[in-house]
Amino acid sequence: GENVEQHPSTLSVQEGDSAVIKCTYSDSASNYFPWYKQELGKRPQLIIDIRSNVGEKKDQRIAVTLNKTAKHFSLHITETQPEDSAVYFCAASIVVGNQFYFGTGTSLTVIP
Amino acid sequence: GAVVSQHPSWVICKSGTSVKIECRSLDFQATTMFWYRQFPKQSLMLMATSNEGSKATYEQGVEKDKFLINHASLTLSTLTVTSAHPEDSSFYICSARGNQAGGTYNEQFFGPGTRLTVL
């Protein structure tokens, strides 16, 4: 099955700086890669996703890049704010099969 | 957006009893629902995938006789933890994927989760 690795496990940045979280996946058939943000005790919320036919996608301060050849994708958050503090999960999925396999999570702390 | 509810939000039970958790899609038909388990400060581990009207597909290492999943309608899936033991204590989250206004989502919409504590 799919194996998704995520780094780093914890990340602290100063407010206004950028944060980058990286994931790798093992199954070359995976072609949908969502990113979720989970605040303590709450449900995961989708923040951005990318499909395999696109190399980069941006939504305001959040961007995701995908390198299918290397089988890795990254989340970039610019101009970080304290409310960005949360746990972030990447995931990989074969669209037709639809199961999501999550990375191990990154606990992001933005220091005011 | 699509809304998924879960009930109960938390439950405490004695060892050996069974606990049922419900997952409902409130404003769309969920053709597929997923059950995850999350330990504190850890990732979401996919337990099983259930399609409406058919048997659930369990991930390797998940005991299907212990974690009974039923997806009898397009808006409801249930997870029953049978003969629960303290090691079953965890945060259980469901998600749903389905159709709305003729479209099919790739996105999974998560429920709020159920915290199970087995004494």
Angle at A62 between CA A56 and CA A64, to 5 degrees: 30
**From CA A41, how far away is CA B43, in angstroms rounded?**
13
Chain B residue numbers with beta carbons less than 8 Å from the beta carbon of A99 are: 34, 46, 49
Using the predicted structure, report yes or no on whether residue A50 has a pLDDT greater than 80.
yes
Residue B20 has, within 13 A of its CA and on its CB side, a CA count of 7
pLDDT of A65 above 90 = yes
Is A98's CB within 8 Å of B97's CB? Answer: yes
Answer whether A89 sits within 8 Å of B106, measured CB to CB.
no
A92-104 pLDDT, tens per residue? 988 655 788 999 9
CA distance A32 to A9: 22
Q: Cβ(A30)–Cβ(A93) under 8 Å?
A: yes
- Classify strands A10-14 and A106-111 as parallel, antiparallel or unpaired: parallel
Cβ atoms < 10 Å from Cβ of A7: 14
User: Closest Cα to residue B83, out of B14, B4, B12, B2?
Assistant: B14
Judged against a pLDDT cut of 70, whether residue A86 lies above it is answered with: yes
B105 has a pLDDT exceeding 70: no
Give the per-residue pLDDT at B101: 54
> Quick one: pLDDT at residue B104?
56
Cβ separation of B43 and A98 shorter than 8 Å? no
B62 to chain A, any CB pair closer than 8 A? The answer is no
Task: For residue A103, give how far its alpha carbon lies from the nearest alpha carbon of chain B (Å).
Answer: 7
Question: Mean pLDDT, to the nearest integer, of B90-108?
Answer: 75
Give buried/exposed letters for A67-105 (b at 16+ CB in 10 A, else e): ebeebbbbbbbeebeeebbbbbbbbbbbeeebbbbbbbb
Residue predicted with more confidence, B111 or A52: B111
- Average pLDDT, rounded, for chain B: 89
Bridge partners (DSSP) listed for residue B78: B22, B70
CB contact under 8 A, A100 and B46: yes
Q: How many CB pairs under 8 A join A and B?
A: 50
- Token readout for B36 is 């995850």
B54 in contact with A, Cβ within 8 Å: no
At residue B106, the pLDDT reads: 65
Closest C-alpha among A108, A85, A109 to residue A6: A108
B2 touching A (Cβ < 8 Å): no
Nearest CA in chain A to B42: A104
In the predicted model, what is the mean pLDDT of residues A12-22?
Answer: 97
| Percent of all residues in chain A with a pLDDT value above 90, rounded to a whole number | 80
Q: Over 90: is that where the pLDDT of B66 sits?
A: yes
Question: How large is the average pLDDT for residues A33-58?
Answer: 91
Q: What is the DSSP letter of B87?
A: G
Phi, then psi, of B86 in degrees rounded to 5: -50, -35
Write down the pLDDT at residue A72: 95
